Structure formats: C-alpha cells, structure tokens
Structure 1
Amino acid sequence: MFSFSLFPEIPRSFNKQFSCFSVSMLSGNEREDVERGGKIIMPPSALDHLTRLNISFPMLFKLTNVKTSRVTHCGVLEFIADEGKVYLPYWMMHNLLLEEGNLIQIENVSLPVATFSKFQPQSSDFLDITNPKAVLENSLRNFACLTTGDIIAINYNKKVYELCVLETQPGNAVTIIECDMNVEFASPVGYQEEKKERIKDEEMVIDPAELMPEPKGFVAFKCEGNRLDGKKKKKDDNTSSDSAATKITYQRGIPDYDYKIGTIQFFRHSRPKASDDPKRGDEDFKAFSGQGYSLRQSKARAL
C-alpha cells in the first residue's frame, strides 16, 4: 500500500551548540585558507545531520555567542573537525568576543543576495593599495556572506587589512555567492584630508609693490629710438623735454611698473654723431652707406 502526504514537508532547521576554537588549534598543517575567508570547519556529524534535513543550498549559518549574544554569519568550508568542536577564523572569534573553548550556537539560515555594501578601512595604510576594489573583490571570494557591524580581515602582500562592514543591502546580513554587488569605501579611521589655505587677493592688507625699493641706477629700454632714414622722430605735444629727466632711474633687478603691455622698445649704447650744422644733419646721414668687401680676390689684383 502507498500513502500520500497531503501537506508538504516542513523544512527542519539545524540548531546546535559547539565548543569553538581558532584555526591555529586545528591539528595538522597550518590552514591559512581559513584565516583568509569567512567560512568555518565543522565536525562530520554536522554534515550527516544537515543531509537529512530539507535545507536550501548554499549552506549558511548564524553564529551566536551564548554569553554576550553577539551574532555573525558565515559559510562552511569543510567537515573535518573533532566531534563537538568547530574552528573559526581569528577575526570572527574577535567579533563574537569568544575565547578558546567557549560555547557557540550554530543555526542554519537563508539570506538574501547582496546588492550593495560599504566598507571602512581601519587604518590609513589601506590607501597605499593601488586598486583597493580589485583586492577586496579577490578576497571576498573566500567569504560566503557579510554581516553589518563585522570587522573582516583580508590579506594582501603579506599584510592584514581590517575593514568594517558599515552597510549591506537589502538586509543587515546578505550572501555574496554569485552576486553582482556594488561596493563603496568610507574614509579610513583617523584619516584627515589636508586643508589647503587659500589666501584671497582682497584679504591682503599690504600691497607687494609698496615693499619694493625705489628704482635707482640703470633703466633698461628707456632710451630714444632712431629711424633708419635719418629723419628725426616727431615728439608729441603732450610730452615735454623735461619729462625724461623727471622719471625715476631704474635699478637692475626691479620690475618696471610703468611698462605698457604691447609695446617694445629697442635701445643702443652708441648714438650716431650729430653734424655741427643742424640743417645739414639729414644730408650727412645716409642709411646703409659704406664700402663692401669681398672675400674672393679678383684676378687683376692677384697678378
């Protein structure tokens, strides 16, 4: 005879207490893979019990400290622990305020898939990493879930970096297995941005020009120009003959504050000698006058 059940099978939960120890207490070779992730090692009897239950995969567990009621979530890596014992990463025991041999309650749970998470580095040394998002993504492959408030530890270049999980969405505990999750970083603990003081021109009480000494001595580009055709330069009616004498002589190395943008002045140290007769000054001067010389000698002179 066959019997049919009119009601679906009610899934049963896994809820047991174990003595917890750090991975360093596990016999055998050193298990660095456990310290680098967020998964625990459970005894074989737990696997037998879980296989008989109608639970959903992947296996996720809620860990609770019996004394302090501190809670976190994790996955399982292997079932090779001694009976009645579980082995946890050191950072997980630190979050749960557990010591070697303390009782811990383990219960299987089902968590939503993560869509967003925000982390805060606990040291400014984390800023030395060239691509922190890529390093975090590679490290989170060893984790099964995240819990808001936990301080996880990741290893990079033989150095341990601690990150606080500030926020997770869509819940306070999420699974990160095969998910597309956006990641953000908060400023590291104790990090302060350098504040650059900007001095506005309006706030300057003393004009820098007032601190400069009065110009003395030689003044560059202050002489008169000469025309190539020998004609005298016409003087403006507004300028007087005494204007040049009233100007302050210029000291080398001091900028000329009277300089007008867009003007160029050329000066010579030697001036052409003026004729005794002012009327014949234009006749005596001839532009580009003089004798020419050839580097090649003529044949007549050579003979």
Structure 2
Amino acid sequence: MFGYPMFPDALRPFNTQYRCYSVSMLPGQERTDVEKGGKIIMPPSALDQLTRLNVVYPMLFKLTNRRADRVTHCGVLEFVADEGKVYLPYWMMRNLLLEEGALLTVESVSLPVATFSKFQPQSPDFLDITNPKAVLENALRNFACLTTGDVIAIPYNTKVYEFCVQETKPGRAVSIIECDMNVEFAAPVGYQEPERPPAAEEEQPPEEHHLPEPTGFVPFQGSGLRLDGKQKNLDAPRASTSNGPRVRGIPDYDHEVGYLRFLRNAAPKPAEAASDEPVFSSFSGEGRKLRQPKHRRP
C-alpha cells in the first residue's frame, strides 16, 4: 500500500536556501533599479516551483539570516539570477548582516495590507527636501512590503537618504501594494530644535520727549514794512501759550506728548475806532497814457 505525502505540492510552502549576493555582483548588466527598492532577483527554478504551489499573489517573501537571527521581508522583481543564487539590494544585505555568498533562507509569506507607518530619517539633511512626503511616496512604489526595524535607503537627486521603519500597522511586517497608508515622520537623528530667544521683558512706556527751546538764530522774527508807508507792528509771537490764542504757522512749543488738542480760530478783534486819516484805497489814482492822442486839423 502506497502512502501519500503529508504536504502535496499544491499546499507545500516555498522554503529554500540560496547563496545571496549584492546587485553589483550580477553578471553582464548593471541593475540600479534594484537598489532603489525592496525587491530581489531570484533564479528561474524558483518561478517554476512557485507556479506549482498554492502561493498568494503578489508574491512576498520572508528573508532569514539564521546565523545572525535577522529577518526582513521583500518582493521579487525578476527571475533571471543564476541557479542557487539570489541578488539583494545592498541596504537589505546590511540589515540582515550578510556577506557575499552567505546562505539565506527564502520563504513565501502572506502579509496584511498596511494602514499606517512611521519613518525616522537618519540624517537632518532630509529636512532640506521641499516636499519630503511626496519624495517618500514616490520611492515606496518600488517596495512591496515594510518590516519594523529595517533601515531602508532611498536615492534622491545626488544623495541617498536612509529611513528607519519605526512602526507599521496592523503588524510588524505589512504589504504596501495598492494600499491607502498614513505616513508620519519622527524627528531626524541628530536634529536639534532651534533655540528660542528668551521672553522679552515687559515693555516700558515710552519716555516723554519735549521739543527743546530754540537757541541761536530764529528766522522770520523781524518787522514788516507796508507798501503804503504806514508803520504797523507785524512782529509775530515766538510761541503760543496754553491760555493765549493759537497763531497759524507757529509751532506750539507747550504741546504735551501723548495728547491731541483741537484748536479753533481765535475770536475776531474788535473794530478800531474811526480816525481822521484817509482810508487807503488801491488803484484809485488818475491814469496817464504814455502816448498822446493826435488832433486832426480842421
């Protein structure tokens, strides 16, 4: 009587060991796209074995370095590696503490869809980016999953920025393919908040400044002369007092700073008594012509 295997091929999980290498060791081509994401390159035999197994799509894998007891998760980019080898991004090999040619256990897994993740930049240089959330969102398109504790690398312009995955929900490892995930940033490593200036002392009321008394030469202080020859005192007062009339055009040297004073026109002076002197009237003389009229002869 022949027995059946305990795990048929359709139900057997994918669990294989490979020799791992960084992408720079991939012969014949330079794959910079692998370094920009979180996916690996596997041999064609892995694809043939996965198609005969009951795996959940998209294909996600758990990578384990049993010697260092380090675990991470990833997706697969292509199946073009040499048999018995897998090629990983350099940042992933560094998280797993792997050397070139070390043994790596690759196991197919199913992860929950991410709803939340929190990242901590590993350098304050990340604050120089104008829109860091958009940069991270664009870079995560090359990732299939995230694992809490990993330090991922994202190239942007001419720099490579590293982020520590501090928290993921609903689990320590989540899938980020076609998901709506909330993202938060923690303060970068080495970041120091700018020092705030001490609280300003209570503002003192402004000191009162009075106009100084004029000294030296003061213009327009002489007496005026009339064209008709009459003498009249036209001397203007230097300044007005608080009780006297306000003269137009003369500054009020007794003004108190902080007060507004609205002055009205002074009361008209009483009419002077009539005198015997004739009242001057302009342009009242007789006119003369420079050219005499000619008389016609009879």
In the superposition, the TM-score normalised over structure 1's length comes to 0.69
Task: Report the Cα distance in structure 1 between the residues aligned to 2:210 and 2:116, rounded to whole angstroms.
Answer: 67
Instruction: Map 1:148-163 onto structure 2 (within 5 A).
Output: 148-163=148-163
Given the superposition, is the C-alpha separation of residues 9 and 92 from structure 1 closer, same or farther in structure 2, using an over 3 Å criterion? closer
Once superposed, which parts of structure 1, at least 4 consecutive aligned residues long, lie more than 4 Å away?
207-210, 212-219, 281-284, 290-293, 299-303
Instruction: Map 1:279-298 onto structure 2 (within 5 A).
Output: none
2:245 aligned partner = 233
Given the superposition, is the C-alpha separation of residues 103 and 9 from structure 1 closer, same or farther in structure 2, using an over 3 Å criterion? closer
Matched, 1:138 2:138: yes
2:260 aligned partner = 262
Aligned pair count reads 244
Give the number of the structure whose residues are more often helix, by fraction. Answer: 1
2:233 aligned partner = none
Task: Report the Cα distance in structure 2 between the residues aligned to 1:151 and 1:67, rounded to whole angstroms.
Answer: 20
1:89 aligned partner = 89
Given the superposition, is the C-alpha separation of residues 259 and 33 from structure 1 closer, same or farther in structure 2, using an over 3 Å criterion? same
Unaligned runs of 5+ in 1: 1-7, 235-243, 248-255, 266-280, 285-289, 294-298
Name the larger-Rg structure.
Answer: 2
Task: Report the Cα distance in structure 1 between the residues aligned to 2:41 and 2:183, rounded to whole angstroms.
Answer: 28
Matched, 1:185 2:185: yes
CA deviation after TM superposition for structure 1 residue 156, in Å = 1.2
Per mean C-alpha deviation after superposition, the further-off stretch among 9-18 and 29-38 is: 9-18
Give the fraction of aligned pairs with identical amino acids, expressed as a percent: 62
CA deviation after TM superposition for structure 1 residue 224, in Å = 1.8
In the superposition, the TM-score normalised over structure 2's length comes to 0.71
Q: Is the 8 A contact 1:35 1:89 kept in 2?
A: yes
Instruction: Map 1:98-247 onto structure 2 (within 5 A).
Output: 98-202=98-202, 218=214, 223-224=239-240, 232-233=244-245
Task: Report the Cα distance in structure 2 between the residues aligned to 1:117 and 1:176, rounded to whole angstroms.
Answer: 10
CA deviation after TM superposition for structure 1 residue 261, in Å = 4.0
Task: Report the Cα distance in structure 1 between the residues aligned to 2:196 and 2:290, rounded to whole angstroms.
Answer: 80
Given the superposition, is the C-alpha separation of residues 262 and 92 from structure 1 closer, same or farther in structure 2, using an over 3 Å criterion? farther
CA deviation after TM superposition for structure 1 residue 199, in Å = 2.5
Task: Report the Cα distance in structure 1 between the residues aligned to 2:48 and 2:136, rounded to whole angstroms.
Answer: 34
Q: Is the 8 A contact 2:64 2:105 kept in 1?
A: yes
Write the letter of the residue equivalent to 2:151: I
